[in-house]
Structure 1
Amino acid sequence: MSEGKAPRALVMLLIAAAAVVVLAGIKAINTIVGPIVLALVLVVAVSPIRDWLVRKRAPSWLRVAVPFSAVIVVLLGMVAILTTAVVQMAVLLPSYSAQFNKLVADAQAWAAAHGIAPQVNQALRSFDPGKIFSVVQGLVSSVLGVVSSLFLIIILLLAMSLDAPITSRIMAAAAAEQPAITKALTTFARKTRRYLLVSTIFGLICAALDVVALYLLHVPLPLLWGVLALITNYIPNIGFVIGLVPPALLALLTGDIKSMVLVILAYMVINVVVQSFIQPKFLGDAVGLSTTVTFLSLIIWATVLGPLGALLAIPLTLLTRALLIDSDPGLKWSGALVSGEVPPERPGS
């Protein structure tokens, strides 16, 4: 060990401790951090509109007003759809208690006829469909709660929209003196926009096909489950399962096991084919995160920021990578571990 240099293990422990402290601090004020991150991601998402207006030599006020208005329209649309969906779900669910009781009685009778009544009864006692719907309703309500904090979000969006032209000029001027951090932040913005664009397009395709399938299978509230499928499309790895469980359970309550199986098969054909085989070809290197890092980011940000953290897990991880790894050229191998891609060798090495 050279003099004046701390052991690597100690440095790693200090980094881990600092990360825990920072995440705990963010969790303590997650009701503020969540809207801030949401506003930042939305401003980044509509920045191409502002760049197009700049190229068209539009007035300064128009460069702020048009992107800002586009975000507001999206937020108001989400508020309207989610509010209607939550109200419909709250009114509908209590009416299916009789169907659930009948399913329980049928299952108990079948178990008794096959001599496995104790095991089935124990499983039925531990199963509560209300918990599944409460999880889904909690996810939707959490998103609705953040989006419906319109005053705070609108103020943040307006402030960020007003500062966006100045920020762009500062970034351009800083490129010569701080090329690493400038490139890292530019890459974050580009990858976030591409991720949101591709995820939204394919999420809309999957949601539309899911709604059609649920409508043909006579599952109640097909539009609600389509909106849920679109929202959960932004949750990596487990979003598909979250979006599938409620309509599959409703199909069982309103129909039979065959209806539930058909819903599961329809979702698997639509979502797995589109999201697993087609979407990655268009997404390409938009994320730049390995599968393990993506899954860990989902767990960490969902723990810190709740359901909104799960929805923003990828942009938050991309921002963290830009600030802590990509901004330091000496950490290229750390970036390789995060992305799962070996960095190209320098010429002559």
Structure 2
Amino acid sequence: MTDQAPPLPESGRTGATGAPSLRGGVTVIAALLVLVALWFGRELVAPLALALVLVVIAHPIRHPLERRGWPAWAATTVVIAVVYLILAVLAALLVFAGVEFADLVVDVVDELQAAVASVAAWLESVGLGDQLADATASALDPSALLDLAQGLGGWLLGFLTAAFFVLAYVIFMAADAARYRRAERAFGAGIRPRVDRIRALNSSIRRYYVVNASFGAIVAVIDGLALWALGIPIPAVWAILAFVTNFIPNIGFVLGLVPPAILAFVVGGVPLLLVVIAVYSVVNVVLQVLVQPKFVSDAVDLSLTLSFFSVVFWTFVIGPLGAILSIPLTLAAREALLGDGNGWLRWLSGNAAVQAPPPGATTGAAAPSPEPASDERA
């Protein structure tokens, strides 16, 4: 009779799989804690995210300067100056739009009151009830717009406070960016796959904003000229709004349409309202639905569902700025949480480049790169 090893207990058989499950639970809990911390610190995190995205966009400017023999500090100074120039232009546009909007509200109060009265009367005539009529009238109450216009001062103060943090963050990040590209020399070739993924993420963010800014400018010009031709007041403000909302995926078109559509109803009634909606819809369908996705799909590589959810999610976490930064934040979160692994989850998120490994191929170790990575791809 030969001795046989006793069978392993069930707990011993499942111990190997228990560790990954425990790690997954710890990861989920850690992610939730990070999100709670981001929510509580959103007044500092939102400017930090904006500064990071702007530095990523402007960082490639340093490469041709350094090739021409510029010292690192001079190239960094140029990057900082470019970011500050972008912020100055955006701030000037927002201040101009705010001042023009405040003046407009004061000028059209009488017309707006008449429009509200006509809408309330029509709702009562079709039998929708006094409660719905009162709700609609309160939503279009001119006093609400007056309060909004008067509150622009407080909003501007908050904007300037956030701008101070952005300006400080940009200096530190631009200076650090020159050092990060030397990571391979510091840690060896083993860190190359991780550095390449970061470079690919930065490149995707740059392409996304370049494409969106280009198409946003086209949409803004077309919408502004159309509103000017239709006689809608302050068309330049609504053109600026169309440009800004173009950076908000999926729902940006609607956000940019609502204010000029309401104003069209106030100054021209239902016919002018329908014309404005038709113009915005045609421009949106042709440029933002049919043309723009062909250029931005390679940069974003996210599913439509995840893109829409990211707008809602990041707006809740870090505030209104999260809507504009939702795509790069989601790309960064996906890279941090999934990395090279979890190919199935990456594919569900919209990453079409993920493919199943060939039969017999091993997973887990990244294939070595045949040639050293160039610093200029950072």
Pick which of 150-159 and 102-111 moved more.
102-111
Partner of 1:60 in structure 2?
Answer: 72
Match of 2:356 among 321, 326, 345: 345
* Change in 2 beyond 3 A, CA 1:296/1:151: same
What root-mean-square deviation, in Å, do the aligned CA atoms of Structure 1 and Structure 2 show? 2.9
Q: Which amino acid aligns with 1:164?
A: A
Alignment of 1:116 onto 2:126:
yes
Aligned 8 A contact 2:301 2:350 in 1 = yes
Aligned 8 A contact 1:142 1:307 in 2 = no
Unmatched tracts of structure 1, length 5 or more: none
Q: Output the CA distance in 2 between the equivalents of 1:176 and 1:139.
A: 53
Partner of 1:296 in structure 2?
Answer: 309
* Change in 2 beyond 3 A, CA 1:202/1:79: same
Map 1:120-199 onto structure 2 (within 5 A).
121-127=130-136, 128-129=139-140, 145-146=158-159, 149-170=162-183, 174=187, 176-199=189-212
**How many Å apart are 1:258 and its aligned residue?**
0.9
**How many Å apart are 1:345 and its aligned residue?**
3.4
Partner of 2:240 in structure 1?
Answer: 227
Deviation sequence 1:21-60 (CA, Å, 0-9, x none): 2111101011111111111100000122112222333232
Q: Output the CA distance in 1 between the equivalents of 2:146 and 2:184.
A: 46
Aligned 8 A contact 1:85 1:224 in 2 = yes
Q: Which amino acid aligns with 1:45?
A: I
Alignment of 1:3 onto 2:15:
yes
Partner of 1:208 in structure 2?
Answer: 221
Question: TM-score, with normalisation over the residues of structure 1?
Answer: 0.88
Partner of 2:363 in structure 1?
Answer: none
Pick which of 80-89 and 122-131 moved more.
122-131
Q: Output the CA distance in 2 between the equivalents of 1:142 and 1:339.
A: 36
Match of 2:300 among 287, 295, 305: 287
Pick which of 268-277 and 173-182 moved more.
173-182
Pick which of 172-181 and 277-286 moved more.
172-181
Q: Output the CA distance in 2 between the equivalents of 1:197 and 1:309.
A: 18
Partner of 1:50 in structure 2?
Answer: 62
**How many Å apart are 1:109 and its aligned residue?**
4.9
Q: Output the CA distance in 2 between the equivalents of 1:209 and 1:140.
A: 30
Q: Output the CA distance in 2 between the equivalents of 1:280 and 1:135.
A: 35
Q: Output the CA distance in 2 between the equivalents of 1:232 and 1:145.
A: 20
Identity fraction in percent: 35
Alignment of 1:264 onto 2:264:
no
**How many Å apart are 1:144 and its aligned residue?**
8.5
Deviation sequence 1:91-150 (CA, Å, 0-9, x none): 3214333223323443455566xx524x16433311212568989999998698446633
Aligned 8 A contact 2:184 2:191 in 1 = no
Q: Which amino acid aligns with 1:338?
A: S
**How many Å apart are 1:286 and its aligned residue?**
0.5
Map 1:21-60 onto structure 2 (within 5 A).
21-60=33-72
Q: Output the CA distance in 1 between the equivalents of 2:278 and 2:68.
A: 49
Aligned 8 A contact 1:34 1:309 in 2 = yes
**How many Å apart are 1:14 and its aligned residue?**
4.3
SS of the equivalent of 2:69 reads coil
**How many Å apart are 1:10 and its aligned residue?**
6.1
SS of the equivalent of 2:341 reads helix
SS of the equivalent of 2:44 reads helix
Match of 2:346 among 330, 335, 341: 335
* Change in 2 beyond 3 A, CA 1:331/1:272: same
* Change in 2 beyond 3 A, CA 1:249/1:197: same
Question: TM-score, with normalisation over the residues of structure 2?
Answer: 0.82
Pick which of 9-18 and 120-129 moved more.
9-18
* Change in 2 beyond 3 A, CA 1:17/1:208: same
